[in-house]
Amino acid sequence: MLYSRYNFDPQKFIFMQFETLAIHTGMESDPSTGSVVPPIYPSTIYRHPAEGLNHDGFSYIRQDNPNRSRLEALIARLEGGAGCAVFSSGVAAATALFQAMDPGDEVLAPNDVYHGNRMLLNDLMRRWGLYTNYVDMTDPEAVDSAITNRTRLIWVETPSNPLLHVTDIKAVCKVAAKYEDLQVCVDNTWLTPYLQQPLSLGADLVLHSTTKYLGGHSDLLGGAVISRPDNPFFDRVRNIQHLAGAVPSPHDCWMLQRSIHTLSCRMEMHCSNAQKVAEYLAGHKKVEKVFYPGLKDSPYYQVSKKQSRNFGGMLSFLYRGSEAEAQKVVSQSKVITPATSLGGVESTWEHRRSSEGLNSPTPGNLIRFSVGLEHPDDLLADLEQALNI
């Protein structure tokens, strides 16, 4: 851990709540000026001391940077982890995890895996020599049955993208604990550490596309991997970060740390708005089905209540009509922006199959909705006029 570079005392914050940690971790004043907000350090190199390079200090920007160290300390603390490695994108973080495995190893992934990760596994990592087995991750017995002697990583995305399937993290981790050398990594992008903390449920690793809710403003790109203590597999990930160099800029690290200060407030409002939108859509005559674990008739309502603080800001729904009609609905909105990605303060939605492209398994009438922070009355009014094409 890198706290000591900033005279950071972990014990000082041990009993503090999430909101306080999000604001104060890694925010020690600049000793040269007393600046409350740490500066951005753009330098690519650092002066060596007289006795030669100290490998615990700063040397070269690919290896480390003060803004990056502060950010990694913050994200690790919020996830309850022992270490964090940040990357230039969420996919770069996932790639580092897969590259930490050996050729011939196997990844167990959910059937409803994020389309970008499916392409990454089926194309790039297949040529790396990794096998991938897709399974119903919501069924712990199916997960257990799918594990082979070459399975080294169980990849959990919960809620899943785009159908919002919810995996019982503790149950999957209990299955994994029966096997040696088997890591469980949970993609926690959609719920963030404010709503869900997979390491406390038994996971070994957590992944984020920090582009999404941690960034929260649709203006930066990044990823992160967080680990439990004493995890040699994470040491491999950290080594790949240093050697391969897919790291974020000091400016992006500074921007992301600033954004995380308001994470709890934003997530509360994302959840509140998404609940209202989901309930509205569930009663609309032009909507066939709503996928949102916060609806009490969702098959994932109980497991979500058990393992997360709230249900998140993402939902999907099936429009009662053709694929072309679903695409037209998306194009009709006035407040909701037709765009891919998610987690920004502005509401966005998309015809998901069009975004995923060829070989997409997503239903043609499915619309994925990232519910933002606009007033809910304005969102419902926009939905009403867009749905009634």
Catalytic residue among 5, 46, 62, 150: 62
Instruction: Give the phi and the psi of residue 185 in degrees, each rounded to 5.
Output: -115, 130
> Parallel, antiparallel, or unpaired for β 348-351 and 337-338?
parallel
Whether residue 275 contacts residue 195, with contact meaning beta carbons closer than 8 Å, is answered with no
Catalytic residue among 77, 118, 212, 228: 212
Catalytic residue among 3, 41, 114, 300: 114
Whether residue 333 contacts residue 348, with contact meaning beta carbons closer than 8 Å, is answered with no
* Of 83, 58, 55, residue with least CA distance to 71: 83
Name the strand (E) or helix (H) holding 266.
helix 263-282
Residue 185, strand partner residues: 155, 205
Burial class (CB within 10 angstroms; exposed 0-12, middle 13-18, buried 19+) of 136: middle
Burial annotation 221-251 (CB, 10 A radius, 16+ → b, else e): bbbbbbbbeebebbebbbebbeeeebbbbbe
212 labelled catalytic: yes
Catalytic residue among 112, 168, 187, 204: 187
* Of 340, 200, 342, residue with least CA distance to 267: 342
187 labelled catalytic: yes
Name the strand (E) or helix (H) holding 192.
helix 192-195
62 labelled catalytic: yes
Residues with a known catalytic role:
62, 114, 187, 212
